[in-house]
Chains A and B, each alone.
Chain A
Amino acid sequence: MHPGRQLGVLGLVFVVLYLLVFFGAGASGTWKDRLEPKLGLDLIGGTQATYIASQQGAPPTKEAMELAQEIIESRVNALGVSEAEVVIQGNNTIVVSLAGKADDQLKDLSKAANMRFRLLTGVTGDVASVALNPPSPSPSVSASGSAKPSASGSAAPSASGSKAPEVTSSASTGGQGGGAPAPSVSAEPSAAPSASASAPAAEAPVTADQKEQRAAIAKKVGAAVWAAAEKLTAPVDLSTEPKAGLPFKPFSTLTPLEVNALDPQMQFNVPTISCEQLDKRPNGAIDDINSEVIACYQGAKVMLDKAEVVGDDIDKASPQLDTTQNQWVVSLDFKSAGQNKWAALTRKAFEATTSDPCYIAASSLYPNVEHCAVAVVLDKEIVSAPQIQGVLTGQSQITGDFNSASAKELADQLNFGAIPVTFESGPAQTVSATVGGQQLEAGLLAAAIGLGLVAIYSFFYYRMLGLVIFLSLGLSALLTFGALVFLGRSIGFTLTLAGIVGFIVSLGVAADSFVIYFERLKDEIHEGRSPRSAVPRAWHRARRTIISANAITIMCAVVLYIVSIGQVQGLAFALGLSTVLDLVVVFLFRHPIMTVLASTKAFLSPRVSGLGRALRTSQKEA
């Protein structure tokens, strides 16, 4: 190939790479921002926690791992640090990192995620904002909202539910795409009585610790407010009395931890306790199978009965295409012991009469209900709340507005519940910003020293050819930097100190491929070839060696990247990336440049090329 053409290709690679850097993969901000690679916490400071997930002692399946990541993510969000990053590393490690800040809470997320099946016994709107700022005009404003839930909700769940052929052995869900009973004040009236009816349910024993906490909260909100809240037997009905929520204002200032200490009834009834507060309750807040709990679902606060069936009872769930209806369903099998419990639970839900609290709750959540709904709770989230269409003694089916993806998602979640993933805390660290900056500085300094030493050595040994080495290394560095910025944005590659070392090591590898080539060239000239004919011959032979040798380095990097965890990956990635880029530079820059140089006179001068000594020796011998 003509040297010009190869240089052209290299130019093209450059242009494309830097176009990607500046305009590709979500580049935004100033020019300088777009040039910033993603730096690891050890370089900028921050907090990092590692969790090793396992499923019955073995690494979790890929699906379970993704769910575990979501769960950790939601736990992190519950802490109010949404900018923290949660990524999977390797096959069983989840790394939570928060750049630039210290937050020890991130190191304490290792609680196992449990699944619970709970009868849905009450629904009330998440009306905290309305309760705090009652609409000044007439309640007619809220009336418009009443149409919403039923309209959007009726389309999907009930239609599909009625179509289901096996009513006895299938449950229909309204979970997917069901209308959210958004903060519509009018949604409550129907729900309110239901909750009050369920109120007499036996309360879980209150521990001394809880008593103490509650006493403290009572003090915080004021004794009068506390007493009023204790007296509530149902959610405050704001539709008839928009200002009824105002006396409970102090409850909106409670921390999620304090909210968690409250009695579930109170969490449910007090209108000023928002879903935002509830969602941020500590991990495991609604895990207790022996107590009623409050959760948020589709923008409403829901009350859930004791968990009569748990994830352990599930045998297996799988997405299936029901060919007669041509729709996706999720089939659900229970273990034999679990089957009995499930039958009992579904009997309760199926045989409920219209006056039962769970019936009323279900009808305020979905339109056209005939039976109660059972909520499937994973960790702190209700993943689905299907209506029960029969006393389910065999295989159950959850129908609804599923597509293949959403059916699979629900099946994965159920399976995840069946075999809980447990987390073990791995290494956790906090790096202060000063230390981070210092490490970055040190890494860059080490890189500069490395580059400097290689440059000095190559100028000393190869004279002007050192310039070719130097230029190529510079080119490699530019390509690497571009790739780093782009990969940081597109696949989230983070440069850590170990990564910097990987790049520094690859400097040596890059320079090595020159040494191989130049020594080869020396051999050829030594054997009496003219530089012009020696260059292509040396290239031809050196190419083979360089490719073999680089192939080994790349192999090493790929294997390390795949099997390793943590910082090893960063180093392996850096090493592999720069070795590949080295090959690019070798083929597209150094070879054409040498071809061009070989035709110049200066190339023959010993003072210029460093090959002169070989040249002179061979002439002398001849």
Chain B
Amino acid sequence: MAGSGFANRLYQGEANIQIIGRRKMWFTIAAVLVAISLGSFVFRGFHLGIEFAGGSKFSVPAVVAGQTLTAEDVFNAVGDAVHEVQPGAQVTAAQQIGEGASANFVVRSPALSSAEMAQVKGLIEADLGLEASQIGDEQVSAAWGGAVIDKAILGLVIFLILVTVYLVVRFEWRMAVAALASLLLDMIVTAGVYSLVGFELTPYTVIGFLTILGFSLYDVVVVFDKIQENTRGITAGSTRTYSEATNLAVNQTLMRSLNTGLVALLPVGGVLFIGAGLLGAGTLKDLGLVLFVGMGIGVAASIVFAAPVLSYLKDQEPRIKAHNARVMAKRNQRSVAVSQDGTGTNPAASDEVPAFAGSTTPRPGARPAQKRGGSRPGGKRP
């Protein structure tokens, strides 16, 4: 069972899926997604929560002194109270949060002052026969939402600078650029999903969005680490172009990436499930949703976007360019010699993107050259 089957080859890192070879396709897909997202920002905008638009929110328990209130009761009570204080103000329909005895109804109104809030609460209490401590409320000025966004942007900028420096020091500038490109793609597409689907944007969404930054790069670092290992001293040999070595690294880390992605998404899925399913709305749902979407896209981007960008950038580097040309030249020589025996020439070998390594690599997904020597004579085996 072990030797065959796609799943097993995937498991062993030998699936030899052409990822780098299809980099034009990935770039096109990425460009389309970015275009759609940007278009959506412009034409659809975002659905802002009260934290950004400014406003007030009242939450009223669904069960009062053994009596169950309906959404309409609460809507009417809050609406009347708000109208009394601010005639002409519109309130939203009551939204139920939670189930059973601990359920609450949430009604939103335009921004009220602290004094008005207290007055409204007093009226609701009198109307529904509640105690003051049972009514929850929240008031936010639009300025606050602006401050949150400002801080978020500041944080984003500082983080990007730090991370760029780190990646340049830890890897090299081309890897840093590729990693940041993948990060940007992740962010733009995540924001695009929010804009297109019309999910509500709250400060928690912004928090979650910033958290994705770290995670998205986490995945990229794992992949790049392997690429760096595989391509160390690549110019010394002439068996493999940079892109091929990168593709190999991506294949080898594919299982790892899928695993880390899945394992990170599982707990976030738990948050989303509880937040959206059980509570209906609030912090957990906002955070869970943005993390789920962003991390998912991040995992995908680290595999199919970061590495292709890197290989593209590397192929422009004079040293790698020369190396690639040398590999291709050698390969052509050999294939001319071999084609007579009918071993088959891979037409892709002369492709502009020199990534199809099938004809020359001894077996799909082979280990990097420098390691192969040491791997076979493993001591214990017969």
Contacts and interface: CB of A to CB of B under 8 A. Distances in A.
* Binding partners A and B: yes
Interface of A: 42, 50, 52, 90, 101-102, 104, 107-108, 424-435, 437-439, 442-443, 445-454, 457-458, 461, 497-498, 501-502, 504-505, 507-509, 511-512, 515-516, 519, 523, 526-530, 541, 544-545, 548-549, 551-553, 555-557, 559-560, 562-568, 571-572, 575, 613-614, 616-620, 622
Given A90-B151, A429-B139, A553-B215, A516 B284 contact: no
Contacts of B211: 502, 505, 556, 560, 571-572, 575
Contact of A425 (B13, B141, B162, B266): B141
Given A505-B267, A505-B291, A552 B225 contact: no
Contact of B268 (A426, A442, A450): A450
A398 B278 CA distance: 63
Contact of A461 (B225, B259, B375): B259
Given A427-B144, A530-B378, 6 more contacts: A50-B144, A52-B143, A426-B141, A446-B288, A452-B270, A571-B211
Interface of B: 2-3, 8, 11-13, 51, 57, 59, 61, 98, 102, 104, 114-115, 117-118, 121, 132-141, 143-144, 147-148, 151-152, 154-155, 158-159, 162-163, 166, 170, 203-204, 206-208, 210-211, 213-215, 217-218, 221-222, 225, 229, 252-253, 255-256, 259-260, 262-271, 273-275, 278-279, 282-284, 287-288, 291, 367, 371, 374-381
A434 B255 contact: no
Given A437-B102, A446-B284, A505-B211, A516 B133 contact: no
A301 to B, nearest CB: 31
Given A552-B163, A565-B148, A527 B264 contact: no
Contacts of A433: 133
A449 B274 contact: yes
B114 A108 contact: yes
Contact of B225 (A101, A426, A431, A544): A544
A564 to B, nearest CB: 5
Given A519-B256, A614-B12, A424 B166 contact: no
Contacts of A618: 378
User: What secondary structure prevails in chain B residues at the interface with A?
Assistant: helix
Contacts of B225: 544-545, 548
A240 B283 CA distance: 66
A442 B214 contact: no
Contact of A102 (B132, B152, B379): B132
29 contacts: A42-B283, A426-B141, A427-B138, A427-B139, A432-B133, A434-B102, A445-B274, A445-B278, A446-B273, A447-B267, A450-B268, A458-B263, A461-B259, A497-B282, A501-B283, A502-B211, A507-B267, A508-B268, A511-B260, A512-B260, A512-B263, A515-B256, A519-B256, A527-B375, A545-B225, A548-B225, A556-B210, A565-B148, A617-B2
User: What secondary structure prevails in chain A residues at the interface with B?
Assistant: helix
Contacts of A446: 267, 270-271, 273-275, 284, 288
B117 A498 contact: no
B267 A548 contact: no
A435 B104 contact: yes
Contacts of A530: 378-380
B255 A429 contact: no
B207 A442 contact: no
B89 to A, nearest CB: 18
Contact of A556 (B102, B170, B214): B214
B381 A552 contact: no
Nearest to A544: B225
Contacts of A541: 229
Contacts of A617: 2-3, 8, 12
Contacts of A572: 211
B163 to A, nearest CB: 6
Contact of A616 (B2, B117, B143, B263): B2
Given A428-B139, A560-B210, A565-B151, A508 B266 contact: yes
B3 to A, nearest CB: 6
B286 to A, nearest CB: 9
A435 B221 contact: no
Query: What 4 pairs across the A-B complex have the smallest Cβ distances?
Result: A450-B267, A556-B214, A528-B378, A508-B264
Contact of B222 (A452, A502, A507, A549): A549
B279 A442 contact: yes
A455 to B, nearest CB: 10
B114 A559 contact: no
Contacts of B51: 427
A498 B286 CA distance: 10
A614 B11 CA distance: 9
B117 A107 contact: yes
A26 B212 CA distance: 37
Nearest to A553: B214
Given A102-B133, A446-B274, A560-B155, A432 B59 contact: yes
B159 A559 contact: yes
B378 A439 contact: no
A457 B221 contact: no
A430 B136 contact: yes
A620 B382 CA distance: 11
B268 A449 contact: no
A424 B2 contact: no
A515 B199 CA distance: 32
Given A435-B59, A508-B267, A571-B207, A498 B144 contact: no
Nearest to A612: B2
A432 B2 contact: no
Contacts of B2: 613, 616-617, 620
B152 to A, nearest CB: 7
A424 B263 contact: no
A50 B253 CA distance: 47
Contacts of B148: 565-566, 568
A501 B284 contact: yes
A101, A425, A433, A620, most chain B CB atoms within 10 A = A425
A94 to B, nearest CB: 13
B270 A438 contact: no
Contact of A563 (B151, B229, B267): B151
A516 to B, nearest CB: 6
Contacts of A557: 214
Contacts of B278: 442, 445
B137 A429 contact: yes
Contact of B270 (A450, A509, A523, A553): A450
B216 to A, nearest CB: 9
A376 to B, nearest CB: 30
A107 B114 contact: yes
